Structure 1
Amino acid sequence: MVRRRSGQFLTDAAARDDHLFATWVLVLCLGLRRGEVLGLTWKSVDFETGELYVDHQIQRAGRQILHRETKTEDSDDFPPLPALCLKALRMRRAQQLGDRKAAGEPWQDTHGLIFTTKYGTPIEPGNLTRMFAPRAGRAGLRAVPLRNTRHTCSSLLVALKVHPKVAQRILRHSQIAMTMEVYAEASEEAVRAAIGKLSDAMGGTTG
């Protein structure tokens, strides 16, 4: 169910040529937080090795938007980028080149950020949050907060039976205990499936 909804959301975003399509791909596929995805620069991406370096984040501090180094969890790790992410980032690079050309002199190359406004300035974190729910509704899905996408990614890893140690690297948890907490949250669907297996093992229905 989670996999179907995520796919439906991304399919709709791609069909509408959403400028934030690559943003949604990264938060859903890699579980990146809002500030982390907005803080990515083109130097963060290695297209040849297919890796991403999550080392900065965008934060609102009073009247300023700051580009700060991340110091949470295992920030020195390089999550591998699947084909969908690489394709989305290449599309984003082409979009940004178009934005730069259209903006002309007013364009600001702020830190070489991947995700920017049409003038090259950082995207306000609060605006990204506000833009997510309407897009989910547009795709025919129940509106959920952007912060829930990290849990969506975690749930997908569990549903796909990804090994916890692999999930730990994808989610960049510094301790395996943090990952195991995710795996301990059994869904209703998983509980029903397990009970069904127990019933089958004991001979199923009797009659």
Structure 2
Amino acid sequence: MHPLRGTSIEPRNVNRSWDARCHKARVLKITVHDGRRTCGSLLADLDVHPRVAMRIPAPRPSRRPMEIYTDICSEATRAGLKRLGESL
């Protein structure tokens, strides 16, 4: 789903955008899935709360109990992203 419009995103467009960002950053091209896993692993290594870490690489709704019964403010999400950025 498109985060701003609530409509579907064409997968090929996501891949083209991802590939362009990898090229611009001069990093090895990996799949979007691998990028999400890497992000999650880095957040875990930085001891970012698991609930915050779940929102950063995959902010889509899920049915996991932890997501249903807890909520993380956007300040905590920003703090987790800041820690990730500083580590890189």
**Higher CA-based Rg:** 1
Q: Calculate the TM-score normalised by the size of structure 2.
A: 0.48
Q: Calculate the TM-score normalised by the size of structure 1.
A: 0.24
Larger helix proportion, structure 1 or 2? Answer: 2
